[in-house]
Structure 1
Amino acid sequence: MESQSIITSFFLIFSGAAVLASVVLYTRQPLLVAYIALGAILGPYGLHLVTDAHLLSEIAEIGIIFLLFLLGLDMQPRNLVHMLRKATVVAIGSSIIFAACGYTIALMFGYTQTESVVIGVAMMFSSTIIGIKLLPTTVLHHRHTGELVVGLLLLQDLIAIIVLLMLGGKESESTWQQFLQTLIMLPVLVLVAFATVKYVIVKLLQHFDRFHEYIFLLAIGWCLGVAQLAELFGLSLEIGAFIGGISVATSPISQYIAVHLKPLRDFFLILFFFSLGASFNLGLLSEVILASSVLAICILIIKPITFRYLLGFIKEPADQSWEVGFRLGQISEFSLLIAFLATSTAIIGTNASHVIQATAIITFILNSYIVIFRFPSPIAVSDKLRRD
């Protein structure tokens, strides 16, 4: 894409988002609706004004990386380890239930066994972006809820990596070798990150803490550097960014970094939601809308109930369990990646892929409505519920 077309695309996206966001706020709707709707209107399947949605999606992934980095900055390592230990049973048990639900519904609508398995697997995960973007991270009495949400999302991310490796195994005989490499490299990455922070990053921050621009640059470089290292180790960019963030969390400068990177994160997340709307082929909507709607309604109902009772099993309070369930009551951007990879390797057809995509969009939007009108969030329409 030429530089001029990038500028034009950004003009259309952010000017259009500003206009639609104004309408959405006046009508008391979630801002995410404006971004996704704008993508559908301006994208390749709408007015064809922004055509390279794939490039925008790649740019928008930086927003996800910053989101996970900032999330790590708000987490204390000791608390996280304890939460991951508690949440493992919940993550595995809930994944099995959601996969079985998606598989059964897909079979009912006539999809093949293989397509039904992939659709079922895609239902297992909840959105890191939605879950964390709508979660207040600076309010003390929501901190435990945040730890539960983060612990479950991280475990789901690890399961998603395994699924992606298995899907890639259709073209590669080294799938299990990659899987073992991932299990080995995760603790290696954690050790490298914490050692580098202790012996390099913290000393640099202490020496140059008067130069705010330097702190900003070092934080961005560290975030993207650990994310890139994670990818080289066979992990995801998002997990690398989170490890980069949590490795700095014990530093006194962590909150300063968190505050100053938020606008940059929001810039890229707008592009992510735009690209989500732009990548959906509206011409296939009539063919998949019924199956997608049934799947979406099932997910919106079953996920909160499942998390409520599984979290209750590990002695979490009922009110927090319900809140966690509703905050995780959608499918994931990993589901979209699974749909893309399974289609590109001819494991599933285009129709099945669009069922997953449509289900993701429906659950993203409807779940956002549920959360911002019922629970505290940074983008709540009500002043009473708005928390950052």
Structure 2
Amino acid sequence: MEEHNLVFSFFLIFTGAAILASAALYTRQPLLVAYIVLGAVLGPYGMGYVSDTQMLSEISHIGIIFLLFLLGLDMQPSHLIHMLKKATLVAIGSSIIFFATGYGIGVAFGYTQTEAAIIGAALMFSSTIIGIKLLPTTVLHHRHTGELVVGLLLLQDVIAIMVLLFLYSGDSGDNGMGTYLKTLAALPALIAGAFVFVKYVLLKLIQRFDRFHEYIFLLAIGWCLGLAEVAQMSGLSAEIGAFVAGVSIATSPIAQYIATSLKPLRDFFLILFFFSIGASFNLSLLDEIIVPSVILAVLVIALKPVVFRFMLSKISESKSLAWEVGFRLGQISEFSLLIAYIATSAALIGQEASHVIQATAILTFLLSSYVVIFNFPSPIAVSDKLRRD
């Protein structure tokens, strides 16, 4: 993408987003809807004003990385470990149920066994972005809800990475087990290395130069993106690296200052992320995929809250909290979009099956956002009573 095209694309995206966001706020609609609709209208399958969606998608991925970093800054390590222990069986059990549901629907609509299995895999995960962006982080009595949502999302991320590694290593079957073992070893090594570096290097730098706010800002960005890159090179995801980077300095007094400083930067990139989702969707395939996509989306919206409500109640969580967590996780994930992209590139699924996954993701992003903002506290709730930062 040439420089003038990039500037023009940014002009269209952010000016258009400002206009549609204003209309969305006046009509009490979630802002995410405005960004996705704008992408569909201006993207290559709409009016075609913004054509290089691949570039925008790569840029917007930084927003997800910052989102996970900021999330880690709010998580105390001791609380996080306790929550992961509680949520492990729930994450595994629910993933099996959602996989079986997607696989069954895929087979019922005549997709191949491989395509049905990948559709099932795409339904296993909930969106880190939707789940966290609609979760209040500064309201004390929602802290446990937040920890539970984060614990489940992180465990799902680990499962998603295993699925992605399987797809990546599809062409080299002998190296598959070695890749998995490398990844399993990389996670504890990354965590240990991060905490050691923070204790002996990062915190000492922060304590020495904490009067220079610009330096703290740069140090935080460098630490976040640096550990994200190390995680990716180790076979993990950049998101997990960013989250570990945040958790590793969560006990520092400077953590909340860093979180406040980076929020505008995060929102800038997340607007690009949601725009790129809408822009990447091929509207010409809509007639062929609308029926299975709508059925899958309705099943996801209806089934996920029920499954999480049942399974969370088994680990002694209250009914109201279990329902809220279920509705907050009642969509599929950005990992699902990545699964569809990789599987298509590897010729494991066709364009139609890939777009079924993409359409289901977009529909569940939109529908679950509506459910949450009308019924639960969130930063973009339509009601002043429910709006929480």
Same fold (TM over 0.5): yes
Amino acid at match of 1:96: I
Counterpart residue number, 1:111: 111
Amino acid at match of 2:20: L
Q: Distance in 2 between matches of 1:163 and 1:31?
A: 31
Counterpart residue number, 2:128: 128
Q: Distance in 1 between matches of 2:156 and 2:25?
A: 32
Q: Structure 2 matches for 1:1-388, cutoff 5 A?
A: 1-173=1-173, 174-388=175-389
Residue 251 of structure 1 aligns to a residue whose secondary structure is: coil
- CA drift of 1:354 comes to 0.2
Q: Distance in 1 between matches of 2:103 and 2:123?
A: 9
Amino acid at match of 1:226: L
Unaligned runs of 5+ in 1: none
Amino acid at match of 1:62: I
**CA offsets per residue over residues 53-95 of structure 1, 9 Å max, x none?**
0100000000000000000000000110110011000000000
Residue 170 of structure 2 aligns to a residue whose secondary structure is: coil
- CA drift of 1:381 comes to 1.7
**CA offsets per residue over residues 195-236 of structure 1, 9 Å max, x none?**
111111111111111111111000000000000010111100
Q: Distance in 1 between matches of 2:5 and 2:181?
A: 43
Q: Distance in 2 between matches of 1:341 and 1:331?
A: 17
**CA offsets per residue over residues 260-306 of structure 1, 9 Å max, x none?**
10000000000000000000000001110100000000000000000
Q: Distance in 2 between matches of 1:301 and 1:350?
A: 27
CA RMSD in angstroms comes to 0.6
Amino acid at match of 1:369: Y
Q: Distance in 2 between matches of 1:201 and 1:107?
A: 52
Q: Distance in 2 between matches of 1:134 and 1:333?
A: 15
What TM-score do you get using the length of structure 2 for normalisation? 0.99
- CA drift of 1:145 comes to 0.3
Residue 170 of structure 1 aligns to a residue whose secondary structure is: helix
Q: Distance in 1 between matches of 2:91 and 2:112?
A: 27
Unaligned runs of 5+ in 2: none
- CA drift of 1:169 comes to 2.0
Amino acid at match of 1:117: A
Amino acid at match of 1:101: T
How many residue pairs get aligned? The number is: 388
Q: Distance in 1 between matches of 2:234 and 2:113?
A: 33
Q: Distance in 2 between matches of 1:170 and 1:362?
A: 29
- CA drift of 1:122 comes to 0.4
Q: Distance in 2 between matches of 1:168 and 1:72?
A: 28
Q: What percent identity do the matched residue pairs reach?
A: 70
Q: Distance in 2 between matches of 1:9 and 1:43?
A: 10
- CA drift of 1:168 comes to 1.6
What TM-score do you get using the length of structure 1 for normalisation? 0.99
Amino acid at match of 1:257: I
